[in-house]
Amino acid sequence: MRSLITGGVRSGKSRLAESRIAQMADGGRGGPVTYLAPGPVPDPAVDLEWADRIERHRRRRPADWVTVETTDVAAALTRADGPVLLDDLGTWVTAVLDAGDSPDGTAGPSGWELPGDAAVDLVQAHVDALVAAWRTAPGPLVAVTNEVGLGVVPEHRSGRLFRDALGLANQHLAAACDEVLLVVAGRVLVLPA
Instruction: Give the Å distances, CA to CA, from 54 to 38, 43, 89, 94, 96.
Output: 12, 10, 15, 16, 19
User: What CATH number is associated with residue 146?
Assistant: 3.40.50.300
Q: Binding site annotation covers 59?
A: yes
Q: Binding site annotation covers 56?
A: no
Q: Given phi > 0 = left and psi -120 to 50 = alpha, else beta, which region is 139?
A: left
What are the catalytic residues?
Answer: 57
Give me the tens of pLDDT residue by residue for the chain, a chain 193 residues long. 999 999 998 899 999 999 999 988 876 555 689 999 998 778 889 889 988 888 888 888 888 899 999 999 999 999 998 999 999 999 999 999 988 877 777 777 788 888 878 888 889 999 999 999 999 999 899 999 999 888 788 899 889 999 999 999 999 999 999 999 999 999 999 999 8
Residue 108 belongs to what domain range?
A: 2-191
Q: Kind and range of the H or E element at 191?
A: strand 187-191
Residue 170: name the closest of 139, 188, 184, 191 by CA: 191
Residue 126: name the closest of 64, 75, 51 by CA: 75
Q: Kind and range of the H or E element at 120?
A: helix 116-136
Q: Binding site annotation covers 87?
A: yes
Please report, as a single letter, which amino acid is at residue 185.
A
Q: Binding site annotation covers 38?
A: yes
pTM of the predicted structure, to 2 decimals: 0.90
Number of structural domains in the chain? 1
